[in-house]
Chains A and B, each alone.
Chain A
Amino acid sequence: MTGSHAGCEHGVCGACTVRVNGDIVRGCLMLAVQANGCRVETIEGMSDSGELAKLQKIFHEKNALQCGFCTPGMLLAAQDLILRSGKPTREEIRNHISGNYCRCTGYQAIVDAIEEVVNGQG
């Protein structure tokens, strides 16, 4: 699988984000042996299950991606926030995705998209 991306390879950029036992983690900082017996979810599985469908739809509508390299990690971080916080403010959204770098969009459209999903307009 190549959906989760190795970007900086030292835990800064968030492109490698995967969900392990319900928590989002940096894939690049976790050894495979540490995942032994854990439930590991990636962008592929979470797309197929439909869990991210709403976020993906609004990200697409709002052009909240360009090259798409950061997008799998960005979506997992956004979904994590939605599951935890319910109705975060715009500042909280920015704070929560601050560990996910995007070099294309300037973040505005990403924050817009997450905010729209949070507000239930998606």
Chain B
Amino acid sequence: MGKAELPLHAPGTKLDRGYIGQSVPRPNAQRLLQGRGAYVDDLRFPRLAHVVFYRSPYAHARIKSLRIDKANSSPGVIGIFDGHAVAKYCTPWVGVLAHLKGIKSPPQHAVAIERACWQGEAVAAVVAETRATRSGRSCPPWSTWKRPCRGKN
């Protein structure tokens, strides 16, 4: 054993029977070892499109304007959707704690609506025909922001 390694189990540890501590055979690992697995990125469907998210550059800021109509006209772009558009299809997530009744998070939308609460929060979903035509990551300056957010919520 090399110097960077510790024993797998502490000396004297008693192991439970069952799966724990056992090597379980995995027949499906054979194809992974040959590079013949199928990951999400490997799937190809008819009319498959690619999505990239335009993300908030600020930790906390109100979205003053989002010019998705302008970016929408870029060649190869199928559509750009802001938080309001995505919310029609996707209800917000509310985090709760089973052991602390009454504690819950504010509704968290898939794509930010009106304000971003963390740097990197998705602000718009850019759907394009290929990855190369997406314009999300190095986004054109089609948004304006107000920060810091001093609103009540």
A residues lining the B interface (CB < 8 Å) = 1-6, 42-44, 47, 56, 59-60, 62-63, 65, 67-69, 71-72, 75, 90-91, 94, 108, 111
Which residues of chain A are within 8 angstroms of B41 by Cβ–Cβ distance? 2, 5-6
- Choose, from B30-38, B62-70, B74-82, the stretch at the interface: B30-38
B100 within 8 A of A: no
B residues lining the A interface (CB < 8 Å) = 1-5, 8, 23-24, 26, 29-30, 32-39, 41-42
Q: Give CA–CA (A68, B1) in the complex, Å.
A: 24
* B23 engages A68 (CB within 8 Å): no
Q: Give CA–CA (A44, B34) in the complex, Å.
A: 6
Shortest distance between the CB of B15 and any CB in chain A (Å)? 16
Q: Give CA–CA (A75, B29) in the complex, Å.
A: 14
Given contacts A90-B2, A94-B4, A108-B8, contact A60 B36 (CB under 8 A): no
Which residues of chain B are within 8 angstroms of A108 by Cβ–Cβ distance? 5, 8
Q: Give CA–CA (A69, B35) in the complex, Å.
A: 8
Partner of B35, one of A6, A44, A62, A63: A44
* B23 engages A63 (CB within 8 Å): yes
Q: Sample 17 A-B pairs with CB under 8 A, ordered by A number.
A: A1-B35, A2-B35, A2-B38, A3-B36, A43-B34, A43-B35, A47-B34, A59-B29, A60-B26, A60-B30, A60-B33, A63-B26, A68-B29, A68-B32, A68-B33, A71-B32, A75-B33
